[in-house]
Structure 1
Amino acid sequence: MEQWFYLLQSPLDELDTKIQELVFRSFYQFVYRDILFMVRDHSLAEDIIQEAFIKAITKGPQMRSCANIPAWIKQVTRNTALDHLRKLKRDRQILVESFVHRGDTAFEEISVTSEVEVRERDKLLYQAMAELKSDYRQVLLLFYIEGRPYRDICKELGMSEPVLTQRLARARKKLLQHFLRKWADNHE
């Protein structure tokens, strides 16, 4: 694994400032894609990564085992993102991407309709994913979003391929149940 992972186990204030900067940039690059996928907002993703980094450097020196630091870092960051999303939901703020459509009117009407449908579906899908157990959410993100092969996921999470296969199947089934319930509730 990369050396910067192990630098999180030493107190950051004892490290050289250039090394501190390297550790943060490496941390940022390691988790940015996951967090951006979850929140769909660059500035919010940066805020979450900074908060997760602070948690990681605070808890890092207390870690007893360094067996699976990359998975621990990803989990801390994802949990921080989920906390932010719950807070935003509680405050009734909705994250929405803005799109500009150009073209003829008929095309714009079709685009707007399909765009609204896609946004609604995606919003419900993210809400359904947020309701899943963290184990299920983690394997879905690693396999479907990051596109990681089974072997890498098994290695990172410390499980066998049959266990991963079963967990993915259960996660997909639960996600579908949550999503369909939300879809039905939303379209009544």
Structure 2
Amino acid sequence: MHETDEQLEAERQLDLARAACAGDRAAFGQLFKLLYARIHRTVWGMLGDESEAHDVCQEAWIKAWKRRDRYNFESAFSTWIHRIAVNSALDALRKRKRLGQRFLRVFSGSSESGTLDMAADTARTPKEHLRDKELGKTIEQAVADLPEDQRTVLVLREYEGYSYEEIAQVVNCKIGTVMSRLHLARQKLQVRLKKELS
């Protein structure tokens, strides 16, 4: 039986993780190249600021290198580093003390960098573009107002496509708790958007 690409990638990451945990900086650098973009997207989704997300990601990878002896191989290395990054992002949010800023641009495609520009359809009218932009802002603010624990699982599930099991490992809670938080987050968004868009 031939191994799938996912299995081969998982084995590659495991080999690199073993080497990195033994102090191999080159192997750790390879893991960084493989996983950084996905980690950054998650943190950016939580913070809503690309520059701050970059700083938090760098901090998370530094923590991972310093704590590499704590990685026990019970979960994928990608899950372990995601957990560190999510916790670092939550710390940043707590320090910020003002959660009313626009963030989670991934839900609206309003990234200033144009990375996620969903309004590229030139056939649409200015009125339609304006309506979508206003909708995006409404969604952003609705997500921004969610409690941290609900917002985190929403980002990991809806944007990163993580399974319930993976999210449970990242946020260190039971799968049932993940499902409950996600249900509450979606419910609150639906109520909020129905109220504001009706």
- TM-score, normalized by length of structure 1? 0.62
The 2-side partners of 1:39 and 1:65 are apart by 29
Which residue does the alignment assign to 2:4? Answer: none
Partner of 1:28: 36
Letter in 2 for 1:46: H
What is the distance in 2 between the residues matched to 1:21 and 1:64?
Answer: 16
Instruction: Give the secondary structure class of the aligned counterpart of 2:145.
Output: helix
Unmatched 5+ stretches in structure 1 = none
Q: Does 1:114 align with 2:132?
A: yes
Q: 1:70-85, aligned counterparts within 5 Å?
A: 70-85=78-93
Are the equivalent residues in 2 in contact too, given 1:27–1:53 (CA < 8 A)? no
Aligned equivalents of 1:56, 1:20: Cα separation in 2: 10
Over the matched positions of the two proteins, sequence identity in percent amounts to 19
> Which residue, 110, 129, 145 being the options, matches 2:159?
145
- Extract unaligned runs of 5+ from structure 2: 1-9, 106-110
Post-superposition shift, 1:177? 5.2
What's the RMSD between the two structures over aligned residues? 4.1
Q: How many residues align?
A: 169
Report if the CA contact (8 A) 2:150-2:182 is conserved.
no
Distance 1:64 1:47, change over 3 A: closer
Task: Identify the residue that residue 67 of structure 1 maps to in structure 2.
Answer: 74
Q: Higher helix share goes to which structure?
A: 1
Contact 1:5-1:70 at 8 Å conserved across structures: no
Instruction: With the length of structure 2 as denominator, give the TM-score of the two structures.
Output: 0.60
Cα distance in 1 for residues equivalent to 2:178 and 2:188: 15
